[in-house]
A and B are shown apart, each in its own frame.
Chain A
Amino acid sequence: MNNDTFTLGGKTFSNRLLTGTGKFAAHSQIPKMLAASGSQIITVALRRVDTTAQSENILDYIPKEVTLLPNTSGARSAEQAVRIARIAREAGCGDFIKIEVITDMKYLMPDNWETLKATEILAKEGFQVLPYVLPDLPLAKRLENAGAAAVMPLGAPIGTNRGLETKPLIAMLIENCTIPIIVDAGIGKPSQAAAAMEMGADAVLVNTAIATALDPEAMGQAFDLAVKAGRMAYLAEMADESTLARASSPLTGFLDA
């Protein structure tokens, strides 16, 4: 398993579970979750400070060796996403950026068209762009051509924990894209993360399911094991499905009843 690394934005990673920092009951749970899960990439967001309240610095809770993946949440247009990305990079966050452009407040569905526009601009500026999208093969090919570092198709809407509702569409991307496919959003259980990896996804991103579990540290570990199991199964090449039963022992040579 140690040899099963993947390359993203020019960096090599040995853990295929990306995590997020949102929705934790306390920021102090984050470093414990990271230690338990082994996750090497974690998302953060950028917001205006609340000048009336003292705020903690979330970056204090993320070990230096973990790669920061700032997102452009809050952006309602490509222009806003580009601005947030440039601010994040200037602020010392590195070159990775998750593009999240959402105008739909009900389902938080990503705006695929604005995301493509932002990807085209930011890839040219040397960012390692990870666009969060509704899986769509023609879109994914355009993102690839635009220089995206990966495509991040949603499994189900953010925070719904409903798993791989878009499974057949994700399969199309895995089959036909050359850049990494990272399933992001909607994964609610470790078994769903394992399913994504069994399909051949390169990685998954899980935030809500870990952060809102009763024990986020243990849940982080559970997801880590599930991602590893799914990946091992994929590499071991699973047997196919069958309509008819296939006996595990010969159907002859029985003892007399």
Chain B
Amino acid sequence: MELFINGIKETVEFRNLVQLIAEKGLNSGALVVELNQHIIKQEHWPTTELEDGDRLELLSFVGGG
């Protein structure tokens, strides 16, 4: 399945959001997820299935002024 992650086209194995996040080895405590311009709260990750052409933004808070 092909989708855009942080603006880059990627082919991924997992359709399930929580599995994809685990596959990428990301710290879920720090993660903010936006799928097709909608924020997906962490409690909904296990039940979120991704589709071809989806635009996924994986964000986190960082230092800034």
Residues of A within 8 A of B (CB): 20-24, 27, 43-49, 51, 54-60, 70-71, 73, 83, 86-87, 90-91, 93, 158, 185, 205, 207-208
Contact = CB atoms under 8 A, between A and B. Distances in A.
A46 B59 contact: yes
Interface string B19-45: 000001111011110100101010000
A87 B31 CA distance: 12
A67 to B, nearest CB: 14
Contact residues of A: prevailing secondary structure: mixed
Given A44-B64, A49-B60, A55-B27, 10 more contacts: A22-B64, A46-B32, A46-B60, A46-B61, A49-B58, A51-B58, A54-B27, A56-B30, A71-B65, A90-B39
Contacts of B6: 48-49, 51
A51 B60 CA distance: 11
B63 A49 contact: no
Contacts of B41: 90
Contacts, number: 95
Nearest 5 A/B pairs, CB to CB: A45-B64, A57-B30, A207-B65, A20-B65, A90-B39
Contact of B60 (A47, A83, A86): A47
A164 to B, nearest CB: 17
Interface in B1-21: 5-7
5 contacts: A21-B65, A23-B63, A43-B64, A57-B61, A90-B39
Given A48-B58, A55-B27, A43 B5 contact: no
Contact of B34 (A44, A45, A58, A87): A87
A87 B61 contact: no
Nearest to A73: B64
A27 B63 contact: yes
A73 B64 CA distance: 8
Given A46-B32, A91-B39, A55 B64 contact: no
B59 A47 contact: yes
A24 B63 contact: yes
B21 to A, nearest CB: 10
A208 B64 CA distance: 10
A152 to B, nearest CB: 11
